[in-house]
Amino acid sequence: MERQKKEAVVAELKEVFSSSQAVFLTDFKGLSMETLSSLRRKISQSGAEFRVTKNTLVKLASQDSPVKALDDLLEGNNALGYTKADPAALAKALFDFAKDNEKLVIKGGVLGSKVLTPDQIKALAKLPSREALLSSLLGTMQAVPTSLVRVLAAVPQKLLYALVAIKDSREAA
């Protein structure tokens, strides 16, 4: 690769590292190009990207970013999965693919400025989707005012029942 192309790749990776919420490092040794293409499609459906890069270029690009912590893992055939949107969706896509293809190994990652181990990424993958979490939160937030309205409405309702019962008892007597 020519020097200008390498510099362009390093600049692009720096931009990716600074704008991504999460970056996951994987080892893809032994996967065919067809399999990698299907992995890329699956990851792009989750709103993320997957890219094979040279280790030296990643090391150069990660100098001033939290991804620098992954430099020790940069050995062998590596690819980066990164997202600006939902890190859990990327983690799910990677782990779902790794279930069917044992040759894909998730080495580690960075979420914001926190370094993640493969086990932590797996725990992230087990989280419900962002939409499911938001709907659960909304349901919880709506439950409190709804319950309050029901309690407040019950007081005059019970009073009305008591007055009707008194009226009925006086009419009967």
Provide the token pair at 79.
């690819």
pLDDT grade for 25, boundaries at 50, 70 and 90: very high
pLDDT at 158 over 80: yes
Please give the single-letter amino acid code of residue 124: L
Share of the chain above pLDDT 90, in %: 8
Q: Of how many residues is the chain composed?
A: 173
pLDDT band per the 50, 70, 90 thresholds, residue 138: confident
Checking if the pLDDT of 125 tops 90, the result is no
Res 24: pLDDT: 93
The per-residue pLDDT for 3 is 84
pLDDT of residue 150: 82
DSSP string, 77-130: SEEEEEESS-HHHHHHHHHHHHHH-TT-EEEEEEETTEEE-HHHHHHHHTSPPH
- For the segment 144-166, the average pLDDT, to the nearest whole number, is 82
**What single string gives the DSSP state of each residue in 3-42?**
HHHHHHHHHHHHHHHHH-SEEEEEE-TT--HHHHHHHHHH
Q: What is the model's pLDDT at position 72?
A: 84
Say whether pLDDT at 132 is over 90: no
pLDDT above 80 (res 129) = no
